[in-house]
Structure 1
């Protein structure tokens, strides 16, 4: 109801009413600047609020401010006397401004009592959202009324309806709890010394005052800019102004959600960056610009989205940081400083536009009109405000860089959609599936949901959340959550998954904690710890991993050590790796021995830095025996032709009638390259000689060994 009253009185209708009365920009700026300017009374009203309580002062002042607006109804009788009209409007706005200041100074600290801190951002957003249908409906009705009639008298019913609804809305404040008068017997400091000594709050006041300067001045003259630049009617502008609260609702809902999760600092700075872009783009709107009719509504929407949401975010910050025992002093100072800055800015902006008039001002050799100058100055002030706000201390808040980083990892839009669905009532299976999808999305935006899922009553949901955390980013909060899971004694599967996720994230800082699991009695955890240390690249764990390769009683742990040593490119462990390979390759009784042997081959090729070639060619050879090997051998024959012509000829002869079953012949042909290997100056040639000498005696070499050795030799001779 208060929003309806404002739309009908002191916003667009008043500006357009004054313009049709023939007032210039200077006087219009003076009338509109009274409201923010008189916010300075917030400091003087502090004793009144403490004496009578926020509830009583706010209700009384809010009611009386609409009583003063009753003077609007007699203005048409003085239409022929411009000075008298200005005097009546000035008297009405003076009374309105004084009462408004008292009401706002009382409501601001009162809101800390009935708005829980953890959801203040969302409450602000939902309040703005609830206002949208009101803004649209009322603005449409005002537009239809004003455009359907002529003369100044058509404004009178609009003002009258607004005054009546405003009084009714003010009386509804009596339904809110809290806001009692201060205990007269309790000692209380009623000075502004405490907030003025708070350096962080003083920086906030400075940033907020600059934002108020820009918002108040632009919100007033944006309407006149489009009226003068594009020749739009009063009714159309009133309707377009309704898009400002629509944008504000969208901005407040969005910003409020982010504020409750990440704090206000990064969100406010991001909004102000958007404000700067909008201010610099507005002067480009000309009547001949294509789609100008669509860009004007967009400009009003973005103004509400960026500016009003930015102010709301700042208000949430203030409520979060001010001490409850001194909330009246802090909020009174903030309200007054914003008002003083905004009021002076409106006067200055109005007189600036009147001074420039229809002429131009030259800035760095560029001729600019009055609105271009206004927008340029506003953009500069917004830059300063954003820089100041980014320096504020806010416990638990993300930095601007971290916040932006949340949108540069994975797919943020899918993450936001999934977060919204995860917050609703869902079954265990659905929560597990959503956690899995968060891992696929890979966005940091979902980390709060995944971390919260670690406390889910469902084991499956927790397990999937741990795995998903390993697919987003090595954010400190993610690493801390996964390290906490490592303490879950008895839940081996969850600890195993956490070790895997930390390895996938390459969590270097967690390596010492992971290394402790190499002494765990559970072989699964020992094996997973070794693999994770290999993924992280923790060289300090090399001695313990080498010991595991040779001495661990569990074969799975030895194979895990093999994988880790391959990832760490540990040349010193090559003899042990070759021995393990030969042990597994020669075991004909175990069905899984051969697949295990390829794990060792993969590690060996990683040390020789040809793992990709080996994997690629082996996949081809595995699909069809004899498909890849002839091509590899021919390539190798071409590379050793000058250094070992006999061996090269033998390889060519072998490929001309290649027999995939006769693996011993192929290995023997590769062994004939040993003299050429001895002559090679490649850093890995001696290591390759040792490996080839060890495996050449294999009775029935597996095709995978042939592919691996050919890949190693090709890399050495290609250098």
Structure 2
């Protein structure tokens, strides 16, 4: 439909946000109306007590969704009249129609069940007609007055408030129904519902938007409305919607009857189950709304549908007439609430944000509501008929007690599974898949992460923001990624710095990696180094290209950090480039970084170039790192580090103990054995200088032919360096011992004397 907004002008987002609470208040009042009447367990029990069969009850409730089919016919008139005006008028009218339900018991007593069904049908038809016209106006109006940026948050807040009021309504309804066996207890609820419903209608008049629209001649035709079905994405959405609706719709009607007749619950307990539904919905509403705004609609939809499959299995397996029946039923009711809210929020957001183009909202929404009505009506009508046809189903199969409701649950299980598949075909409003979404709750500590996210948003000052940012990193959860990315844009330097450190604790994430790479090649030098380190720490393999370019940075410190990061990421292809830079000997500090990276890469051709660094190393830390590079390439890194830690406390004892196992390897080499034994004894007796002399002698007795060229080259260099004082040659002594232990299987034939 081609629409042009008429006066008044479309409200601004500021005005929409200011007036949204009126919509929430109206929905809250309507939830009370719904629980007391057409969508609450008391209403089903009311007609059941009047003596209507399952088929008749299913027929009555099928009228509500079936009349949604008129949406495609009345939409042009509704649009011309104004979405808001149409909604308010027919939304109010249906409350007055509901008043006539108060006469149903009198009709039943005076004229009997046949006329009771006829009278109830007339009321349902009139109510369904006015409801369908109102909802035809409601969907496009709601798409207008709720900004997309807060759609998930609005849905969550709206549902929380509605669930709370609905919960109070259910508790009150349970109290009223449980007080007596008189049919009048249901009439009290209906009367209260009408009053509260009229209050809801008054509140919604304050919501903005919904002005009349002018329709072009083409846009007024039914064919133009049906042309929306050419949209493949819309078709997939409608098919998925239809199947899930067909599977879900009987819940409100037949699950209460199942719990009452088959599970053995009382009427009061059956109504109490609705409290469980509301609690489950309330507990999960904010989470689903938050998740849909952040990760998109499809992960929320699919998560809810998978949980629904578990719910149906729970209904199939629930014990009958047991002490545990009520607690289990309440647990399943809570799960039902969780799945229902995930469907409402996820499917609604997907519809408004990704499926329906705003410029044709009237046409799309009318078709949507018509399809919703068709499948919803069929499910109620056929569901009731199926339960009646299976009224004689009893016995047991595979440990499951058979009953008339069993085929209904089995069909629901099948259709929900098909719905899951169909929604995979709908174009997403976000790139997150359900697997990625679920994985966020497997890695790290999701509960602590959500708590830290809340603290971050409510941090009062820099110190509080720093604590929250640190905590988000410690949780190692991807649920905090959005907040950490936001922290990178914080005006406070310390928060940005802490965000980088926190990101380093996460597993590789494409968005985090991209953000850190921007910083790594940026001009804020104080953050560049930690960003490069964080990339290597989190294992960001896709950052290799950025890090290689960093080897040409103007600042030596950036080159050094990039080199170390490439080594940490095990980028073997960078080894020749790193060796080339090392051979150019630009700066001792950078050269040490090149050597460290080449050691990480175990690049043996770099050994000669690294050997030259020993002569220019300025600090003990640099010498230790050079020794570590050789240990990684030729020896055993773990052994080297362990020995280096131990020699700081007791050099002699550590070296003597480390060399002792070599004696068994060279037992048949008298010359080597004698030198080795003397060396061990000297170190054990704390004659360190003499022990070093014998260690040099031991190297001289080795046969180079039994060693790799690089190993012999390093040992020769070490024998020269061991001429220095012992305290300044710790790493050399440790490296020699490490290499001897690593090559000991080849030392048996090494005695040249």
TM-score after normalising by structure 2: 0.89
Correspondence list, 1:190-339, <5 A: 190=221, 191-287=224-320, 291-321=324-354, 322-339=356-373
The answer to whether the aligner puts 1:96 opposite 2:124 as a matched pair is no
Structure 1 residue corresponding to 2:650, chosen from 624, 627, 631 = 624
Aligned partners of 2:218 and 2:733: how far apart in 1?
89
Residue matched to 1:505 = 538
Q: Distance in 1 between matches of 2:626 and 2:54?
A: 82
Q: Go from structure 1 to structure 2 and tell me whether the alpha carbon gap of 1:151 and 1:193 turns closer, same or farther (over 3 Å shift).
A: closer
User: Could you say which residue in structure 1 is the equivalent of 2:403?
Assistant: 369
Asked if structure 1 preserves the Cα contact closer than 8 Å seen for 2:297 and 2:430, the reply is no
Deviation digits for residues 627-685 of structure 1 (CA, Å, limit 9, x no counterpart): 4222211122223335x3432343234334524452563463375366666464xxx73
Instruction: Answer whether contact 2:219 2:225 (CA < 8 A) is retained.
Output: no
- Which deviates more from structure 2 when the two are superposed, residues 190-199 or residues 596-605? 190-199
1:701-712 paired onto structure 2 within 5 Å = 701=726, 702-712=729-739
What is the deviation of 1:315?
A: 0.8
* Change over 3 Å in CA distance of 1:391–1:624 after alignment to 2: farther
Q: Which residue of 2 aligns with 1:73?
A: 102
Deviation at residue 44 of structure 1 after TM alignment: 1.9
CA distance in 1, matches of 2:599, 2:486: 36
Look up the SS of the partner of 2:743 in the other structure: helix
Q: How far is 1:559 from its partner?
A: 1.2
2:210 is paired with a residue whose SS is: coil
- Name the structure 2 match of 1:134: 165
> Quick check: 1:286–1:292 contact (8 Å CA) kept in 2?
yes
User: Retained in 1: the 8 A contact 2:521–2:550?
Assistant: no
Give the alignment partner of residue 58 of structure 1, picking from 87, 92, 95: 87
CA distance in 1, matches of 2:98, 2:689: 100
Aligned-residue offset at 1:398: 0.7
1:186 deviation in Å? 9.0
Q: Give the CA deviation at 1:29.
A: 1.4
Counterpart of 2:382 in structure 1 is: 348
1:577-624 alpha-carbon deviations (Å, 9 max, x no partner): 22222543xxxxx6xx22220011111111125101111222122233
What SS does the corresponding residue of 1:472 show, helix, strand or coil? Answer: coil
Aligned with 2:309: secondary structure? helix
Distance 1:561 1:82, change over 3 A: same
C-alpha separation in 1, matches of 2:117 and 2:677: 103
Is this contact kept in 1: 2:718–2:736, CA < 8 A?
no
The alignment status of 1:691 with 2:714, answered yes or no, reads yes
Q: Deviating runs (4+, > 6 A) in structure 1?
A: 361-367
Match of 1:648 among 664, 668, 673: 673
Partner of 2:578: 545
Q: Distance in 2 between matches of 1:365 and 1:294?
A: 21
Q: Take 2:299 and 2:584, find their aligned partners in 1: how far apart are those partners?
A: 53
Structure 1 stretch displaced more, 150-159 or 547-556: 547-556
Deviation of the 1:247 alpha carbon: 2.0
Q: Which of 100, 104, 108 does residue 139 from structure 2 map onto? A: 108
TM-score (norm 1): 0.93
Alpha-carbon deviations, 1:34-75, whole Å to 9, x = none?
212222222222122112111111111111212222221111
Structure 1 gap ranges (5+): 585-589
User: Are positions 1:12 and 2:41 aligned together?
Assistant: yes
Does the CA contact (< 8 Å) of 1:71 and 1:89 recur in 2? no
Q: Which residue does the alignment assign to 2:623?
A: 597
Q: Is the 8 A contact 2:473 2:506 kept in 1?
A: yes
Superposition pairs for residues 475-554 of structure 1, below 5 Å?
475-489=509-523, 491-554=524-587
> After the TM superposition, which of the residue ranges 468-477 and 544-553 deviates more from structure 2?
544-553
**1:132–1:246 contact (8 Å) kept in structure 2:** yes
For 1:506, what is the secondary structure of its paired residue? coil
Displacement after TM superposition at 1:453 (Å): 1.3
Q: 1:257: Cα distance to partner?
A: 0.1
Instruction: Using the TM superposition, give the Cα deviation of residue 279 of structure 1 relative to its aligned residue in structure 2, in angstroms.
Output: 0.8
What is the rounded CA distance, in whole Å, between the counterparts of 1:424 and 1:145 in structure 2? Answer: 43
Q: Per-residue CA shift, 1:359-394, capped at 9, x if unaligned?
A: 248989987433332222211111111111122212
Matches of 2:487 and 2:692, distance apart in 1 = 55
Counting only pairs closer than 5 Å after superposition, residues 605-616 of structure 1 correspond to structure 2 as 605-616=631-642
Question: Does the aligned pair in 1 maintain the 2:521–2:546 contact within 8 Å?
Answer: no
Question: SS at the partner of 1:106?
Answer: helix
How many residue pairs are counted as aligned between the two chains?
707
Aligned mate of 1:82, from 113, 122, 142: 113
Counterpart residue number, 2:30: 2
Aligned to 1:587: none
Matches within 5 A, 1:381-530: 381-489=415-523, 491-530=524-563
